[in-house]
């Protein structure tokens, strides 16, 4: 099962362990980190643990050594761990498919090539459970010295010219021990879901590292994004990653992203962990949806317009937007013109069934706001800190300035319709620079403008509180 899902309360209760940050890798900008490790404590025994939220299909390289010797990756939505030099020294590829792009998976690779039983030499765990079903299962020979955790270059996010589209969080190497998944996580007693625990008390070994991605800067030292906090001093160099790639979207507090598997046209380009999207002006009106939906509570989001070269729209809607399933799968769907949706175009065109005057126009460098009150079924739009129609999202049942009455008992998604140019959505973990740094009442998020009273950033912690 994928981790972490909306409503998972395990990470929010009772002073539980909190992951600091994740690092967002973008294949298009060739993002990666690297470190040449030294002589290992024991490169026949080691454990590699990480949390990953995928953001794209296709081959996605997670780690490699010397760029092409040993590597871990997603291919055909399966997970693989291999070493190749004139032939496979070992090769394990799961039958399990990893197709959830909205949740974090926890993966552990535990190696001890001194074991007499071949299948004990490499163990793979996913969300606390050992994998036993493989498309390929070639194990290393006994006492084999692996390239991973040896005195060679180690890359995270790259193998040769192939890179990674994903969030990585809580990346740990234990040099000299084969550990199982319980050294890094546990099942929550309330939800039954797998959650991380603090690994800092483990013995990391000479080549061990703990990457929390909580520092800043790009230098290869204790103050950089690739800082090793294990105490072993194995800091990673940062390549092409910047401050906006440091995210608070983690395995203990998961934020929504745009869902590349759920759209009305595939002719869009996603980036920055599926929080930004671009489209050409020749595209038809098409919608892309968030992978979280809400049916209660009060929620706040922002949208930064990076390039408005033609037409675009934002809004909300509940599925199905259109009863024509073939159109929904690949045709034109414009939020605000389809059943169950409400939208705002950049030319000021009003939302579906809105009876007031036209809304404001918007363009490049504007920041838009949506405040959705599912308790009182009211919707508010804003631009650069001012709400349309003299709206007051905190007005409750009176709905002062609400642009639309919403439908009860429906699950509303957030929607972007780009038709030329680009924009990014900020659910609280932005992929663009923020000058103000506003948070909600729970101290969560990073927004350009003040979060209205009573509203929250959309994330699993706040969803758990609202449930």
State the alpha helices, DSSP H only, in 262-353.
325-330
Q: What is the pLDDT of residue 328?
A: 42
Minimum mean pLDDT range among 176-190, 328-342, 346-360: 328-342
State whether 213 and 354 are in the same domain. Answer: no
Tell me whether residue 252 is in a domain: no
Tell me whether residue 383 is in a domain: yes
- 464's enclosing H/E stretch is helix 460-466
Q: What is the pLDDT of residue 4?
A: 36
- 306 CB-side CA count, 13 A: 16
Find the domain containing 421 and state its range. 258-466
11 has pLDDT over 50: no
The residue among 201, 221, 247 that closes a domain is 247
DSSP lists the bridge partners of residue 421 as 279
State whether 178 and 211 are in the same domain. Answer: yes
State whether 273 and 215 are in the same domain. Answer: no
Q: What is the pLDDT of residue 418?
A: 81
Tell me whether residue 14 is in a domain: no
Tell me whether residue 286 is in a domain: yes
Q: What is the pLDDT of residue 262?
A: 64
Give me 425's structure tokens: 């959505």
Mean pLDDT of 228-240: 97
State whether 220 and 295 are in the same domain. Answer: no
CA distances from 186 to 198, 290, 442 (A): 10, 29, 26
| Mean pLDDT of the residues in the chain | 89
Tell me whether residue 69 is in a domain: yes
The model's pLDDT over 117-176, given as tens digits with 9 standing for 90+, comes to 999 999 999 999 999 999 999 999 999 999 999 999 999 999 999 999 999 999 999 999
Q: What is the pLDDT of residue 326?
A: 38
Give the CATH number, domain containing residue 61. Answer: 2.60.120.200
State whether 356 and 229 are in the same domain. Answer: no
Q: Enter the pTM of the model.
A: 0.92
The pairing of strands 78-84 and 88-94 is antiparallel
Give the CATH number, domain containing residue 441. Answer: 2.60.120.920
Q: What is the pLDDT of residue 361?
A: 94
The model's pLDDT over 27-78, given as tens digits with 9 standing for 90+, comes to 999 999 999 999 999 999 999 999 999 999 989 999 999 866 899 999 999 9
């Amino acid at each position: 099962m994928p981790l972490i899902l909306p409503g998972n309360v395990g990470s929010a209760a009772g002073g539980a362990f909190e992951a600091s940050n994740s690092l967002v890798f973008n294949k298009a900008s060739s993002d990666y980190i690297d470190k040449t490790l030294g002589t290992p404590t024991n490169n026949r025994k080691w454990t590699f643990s990480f949390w990953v939220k995928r953001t794209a299909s296709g081959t996605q390289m997670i780690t490699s050594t010397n760029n092409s010797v040993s590597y871990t990756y997603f291919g055909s939505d399966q997970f693989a761990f291999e070493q190749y030099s004139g032939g496979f020294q070992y090769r394990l590829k799961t039958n399990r498919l990893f197709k959830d792009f909205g949740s974090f998976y926890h993966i552990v690779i535990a190696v001890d090539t001194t074991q007499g039983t071949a299948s004990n030499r490499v163990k793979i765990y996913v969300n606390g459970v050992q994998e036993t079903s493989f498309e390929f299962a070639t194990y290393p020979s006994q006492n084999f010295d692996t390239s991973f955790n040896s005195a060679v270059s180690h890359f995270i996010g790259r193998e040769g010219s192939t890179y990674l589209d994903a969030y990585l969080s809580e990346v740990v190497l234990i040099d000299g021990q084969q550990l199982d998944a319980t050294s890094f996580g546990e099942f929550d007693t309330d939800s039954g879901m797998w959650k991380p625990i603090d690994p800092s008390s483990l013995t990391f070994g000479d080549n061990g590292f703990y990457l929390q991605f909580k520092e800043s800067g790009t230098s290869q030292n204790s103050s950089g994004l690739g800082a090793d906090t294990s105490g072993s001093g194995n800091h990673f160099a940062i390549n092409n990653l910047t401050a906006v790639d440091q995210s608070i979207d983690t395995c203990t507090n998961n934020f929504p992203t745009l869902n590349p598997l759920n759209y009305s046209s595939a002719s869009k380009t996603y980036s920055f962990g599926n929080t930004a999207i671009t489209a050409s002006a020749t595209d038809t009106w098409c919608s892309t949806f968030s992978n979280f939906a809400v049916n209660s509570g009060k929620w706040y989001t922002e949208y930064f317009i990076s390039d408005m070269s033609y037409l675009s729209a934002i809004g909300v809607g509940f599925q199905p937007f259109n009863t024509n399933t073939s159109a929904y799968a690949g045709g034109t769907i414009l939020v605000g013109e389809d059943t169950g949706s409400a939208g705002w175009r950049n030319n000021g065109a009003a939302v579906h069934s809105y009876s007031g005057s036209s809304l404001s126009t918007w363009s490049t460098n504007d920041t838009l706001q949506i405040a959705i009150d599912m308790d009182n079924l009211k919707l508010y739009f804003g631009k650069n800190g001012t709400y349309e129609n003299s709206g007051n999202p905190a007005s409750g049942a009176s709905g002062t300035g609400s642009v639309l009455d919403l439908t009860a008992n429906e699950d509303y998604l957030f929607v972007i319709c780009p038709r030329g140019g680009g924009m990014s959505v900020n659910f609280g973990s932005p992929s663009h620079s923020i000058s103000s740094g506003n948070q909600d009442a729970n101290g969560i998020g990073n927004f350009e403008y003040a979060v209205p009273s009573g509203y929250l950033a959309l994330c699993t912690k706040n969803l758990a509180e609202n449930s």
